[in-house]
Each structure stands twice: as C-alpha cells, then as structure tokens.
Amino acid sequence: MRRNLGLLAFCTSLLISGSSGAQDTSTRIATHYPEHSVRMVVGFTAGGPTDVIARIIAEKLSTSLGQQFYVDNRPGAGGNIASAEVAKAAPDGYTIIVVSTGFMVNMSLYAHVPYDAVKDFAPITMVAYSPNVLLVNPSVPAKSVKELIELIKANPNKYSFAGPGIGSTPHLSVELFKQKFGLDMVHVPFPGAQAISSAIAGHTPIAFTALPPALSNIQDGNLHALAVLAVKRNAEIPNVPTMQEAGYPDQEADTLTGVLAPIGTPNDIINLLQREIAKAVADPGVKERLFKLGFEPVANRPDEFGARI
C-alpha cells in the first residue's frame, strides 16, 4: 500500500508539473507574441467587404502589437481554398483567417468541403456584420418591394438578378426571395463588387448584394435600395425600410466578418488577439469607418462567435 501511495504521489506530481509546464509555455508564447509578422488570410479578392475590414484590423494590430499584420488574398471556391489552407497551418498564431458568412454556409452547400468550420478552427471574434440589400437601377419601374414583385410576376423570365458568387449570402437571399414569392428570374453571379457595376449600367438592373459595396452608390442615387434584409434599419441609409417593414417578413440575411485561428492555437494568443481587435473596433475612427462601410461593429468574445458559427 505504501508503494502504491508513493507511486500515486509521484504520478500526481508529474501531472501537476506537466500541467504547470504547459501553462508556463503558453504564457511565454503569449508574452512574447508576436515576434514576427502575422499573415491574415482572406478568401476573396481585394476591395470587397471582408478584405477592407481585414485591412482595417491589420493596420490597428500592427500598431498595437508592434509587428506587421498583413493581408494575404487567396480567392476561390467561395472562400473554401483559403479556409482549407489555414486549417492546415501551424497553430502558433502567425496564420489567422478573416472570413465572411460563407465560411459557415459552405458546409451545407458543397458536396465536399475541405475543412470543418467547428473542429478545425478556434474562433477569435466576430468583428462586425452588415445586412444584405435589395437594389434596382433607377430605370426600373418599381419603387417598392411590392411593386417589384408585381413587375416580375407580370413579366416572367424577363428579369435577372445580379449578385456576388454562387452560394454567397446575397445569392441565397435571391433564392429565398424567388421561392417565397414564386418568381421566375435568373441569378447572374459576378466576382467581387462587379454586380454593383452591372446594376448601375442596367445590364442586370436588379441586384441582391451586401450593403458595403453598394452603400456609396445608394447615397449618390446611382442605385435605388428597396429594402435592407435586416431586423432594423441601417443608420447610413435610414430611409430604406427593412423587408418586414415593406410587408415581407422572414427575409433577413446578413454578411458577417470574423477572425479565426487554426485549432490548437494557445488560448493566451486567442484572448490577446480578441482583446486587441475589440480595442480596435471600439476606436471612434474605426467605428466610423465601419459605419460608413455599412457594418455594425461587434467584436464579441471567442465563445460567443463560436456559438454563432
């Protein structure tokens, strides 16, 4: 019995020592992190909402943490290529990813997704979100959602909708809209913000897009926003009703921007990045930039972003 108790005490001391050593190592990593530049992967082309927010955050983190945080654009497959790459990256905090809603949605859209949104990533924070918006060229003879639905029903197979890539939340918004009201029209996908250009030119005079790339054109009168697909109006376009206010509930769809790291990244690094991003988002200048882009700042905790995922 004495021998067994002695062995138990020895094993317990090893476990405590090992646990303490792991904690010390994690603390040391966080204390010295970052020691060199950090890559922020974005699965979309430069200039889109995810890329713009990534660059705002990268600039603030570079200043606050004393090392360069830089954006690396890896577009393709609705963000799947970038997500798969980061899922396999070393969990050391030097490769992180900035994602949009497709990061979660793609899991149910593609036959094969080369990553698991829950098992392969450690959430850091949801930076901000923005509603999708229903737009028309001013030449379209519909000044409300009701008039647009009536116009499309009266002219089957005549109208097409512009939107970003297949499987994006604006595209899914179109499909929900079509299904809900039995509309006969075709979705025309465009890369990046080209859907806006096509709608302005009148080639595809109706569009569903995220609000940020459309905002300045709505404010300048180049496009007419019929509704935002959100539970409340957006402060930058306060005169544009929600779909529910327009008489059509259950049409909400937003585009979020969030930051994640490969699973296994030390919690001290995750928490450090969350705190610094939250500070950045709380900065009045950054808040103003996000509002001007059409985004609502969030910067929630890792567990809250994990629950959203």
Q: Tens-of-pLDDT digits for all 309 residues of the chain?
A: 555 555 555 555 555 555 555 455 555 566 789 999 999 999 988 988 899 999 999 999 999 999 999 999 999 888 999 999 999 999 999 999 999 998 999 998 888 999 999 999 999 999 999 999 999 999 999 999 999 999 999 998 899 999 887 778 888 888 999 999 999 988 899 876 789 999 999 999 999 998 988 999 999 999 999 999 998 899 889 999 999 999 999 998 888 999 999 999 999 999 999 999 999 999 999 999 999 888 999 999 999 999 999
**What whole-number distance in Å separates Cα of residue 161 and Cα of residue 171?**
9
The CATH code of domain 36-130+255-308 reads 3.40.190.150
pLDDT score for 15: 54
pLDDT score for 73: 97
**What whole-number distance in Å separates Cα of residue 141 and Cα of residue 161?**
15
Q: Please give the single-letter amino acid code of residue 248.
A: Y
The CATH code of domain 131-228 reads 3.40.190.10
Per-residue exposure over 67-83, b if at least 16 CB sit within 10 Å of its own CB, e if not: eebebebbbebbbbbbb
Domain(s) labelled CATH 3.40.190.150 in the chain stretch across 36-130+255-308
Query: pTM for the whole thing?
Result: 0.77
Question: Is 64:121 a contact under the CB 8 Å cutoff?
Answer: no
Domain(s) labelled CATH 3.40.190.10 in the chain stretch across 131-228
Largest CA distance in the chain: 91
Cβ neighbors of 31 (< 8 A, separation 6 or more) are none
pLDDT score for 193: 76
pLDDT score for 5: 54
pLDDT score for 135: 96
Of 126, 121, 125, 59, whose CA–CA distance to 88 is shortest? 121
Q: Please give the single-letter amino acid code of residue 98.
A: V
